Chains A and B, each alone.
Chain A
Amino acid sequence: MIRGSVAVTTERCKGCGFCVEFCPTKVLALSSAFNAKGYHAPYMEDPDKCSGCNLCGMYCPDFAIYGYRLPKDGAQPKEAAK
């Protein structure tokens, strides 16, 4: 049962690598794609391991990633209205 997931705002990312390094279950890796500024943003390489602990979000200096727990009823996430 996948417990969590992350939402990445690619354009904010500066590719520092904190989230990749400090994810406790090694879910993330830096993508080979890059954003408009040329940085490689993270993506979930191993999504099944994500617990939604949001340590990635806590580490991110640019507020570009946010980890969240998936609800048990299986509802799908949608972006919050801005």
Chain B
Amino acid sequence: MSTTVDFPIHNPVEDVLRMDRIPTIWCPGCGIGTSVNSFAYALMSTGIDIKKVAIVSGIGCSGRVSGYTKMDSFHTTHGRAIPFATGLKLANPELTVVVYSGDGDLTSIGGNHLIHAARRNMDLMVVCINNMIYAMTGGQAAATTPGASISSTTPYGSFEPELNMAHLVDAAGACFVARWTVFHVKMLEKTMKEALNKKGFRFVEVLSPCPTLYGRRNNLADGLAAMKDYKERSKIRNGAPTHETALVQGGEIIVGKFVDRERPDYLTLMRQQLGANYHPLPPQPDENPEAGVAKEDCCSC
């Protein structure tokens, strides 16, 4: 073939990552990085201004995502990413705020905040990586750990019933609830794009392998074995009622977009209720005329 012009190869995902911190701390075969690909492609395809995107995470392996994203990213305390994100969004509604954290962080210690943010229909997107274990701290059982799993705090097998996150968040009032595994990279990207373009409380659960801790103790040789397991056991049921989407150990992994409804978000409800009692922000006295980027009077969206 004749060569005329060179063209550059550039992985577009690198534009939204802190490449100076790659390679990541995640284990070989961990799926968190895979979910970040889906998210990055979804985000870039929406055309949302990356400078106005804020990522908020909690503590845990999944919480480390905020350390790799180039957007304004906040690595907050365990379980409290959602209230921090709430504060960010309320004080600057122009921001697109995405919470990216893990199942233990968001649904156990953070469970109360998850419920109330969904109830309020706070305009936040929550990506919940579900690896069914507390990975960062060495593999303790989580509320999502399937029954009879071996973990470091359940050495004889766990016996607590698992949480069905999708059902919880649906019941609390979320307007968008979906679940995929990191095997479903393309569907996940499409769903994340839909979620990004929607307003209100959006929850995307993403099942991911944890080969080092969950997998190793529970007969899943490595990340690849877990991925093949997802491929085999997943069943796409879009629109399934969330009370039927429980993850049963060894059973079907129900995936798909379960809930997609319209509900007014928190700020819309606030403005409706307050009516004339609500005034948009007046400008603060001008202290630093040349400082940085001026924040425009917001709350008109």
Contact = CB atoms under 8 A, between A and B. Distances in A.
| A–B contact at 8 Å CB threshold (below) | yes
Interface of A: 7, 11-12, 14-18, 21-22, 39, 55, 57-63, 66, 68, 71, 73-81
B22 A12 contact: yes
Contact of A66 (B7, B9, B33, B186): B9
A71 B9 CA distance: 12
Nearest to A78: B6
A66 to B, nearest CB: 4
Interface string B149-186: 00000000000000000000000000000000011011
B33 A61 contact: yes
Contact of B4 (A14, A17, A73): A73
A76 B3 CA distance: 6
Given A60-B34, A63-B22, A16 B224 contact: yes
A63 B34 contact: no
Contact of A63 (B29, B37, B185): B37
A7 B9 contact: yes
B284 interface: no
A15 B227 contact: no
Contact of A17 (B17, B27, B34, B224): B224
A59 B5 contact: no
B223 A73 contact: no
Given A39-B28, A59-B185, A63-B13, A16 B2 contact: no
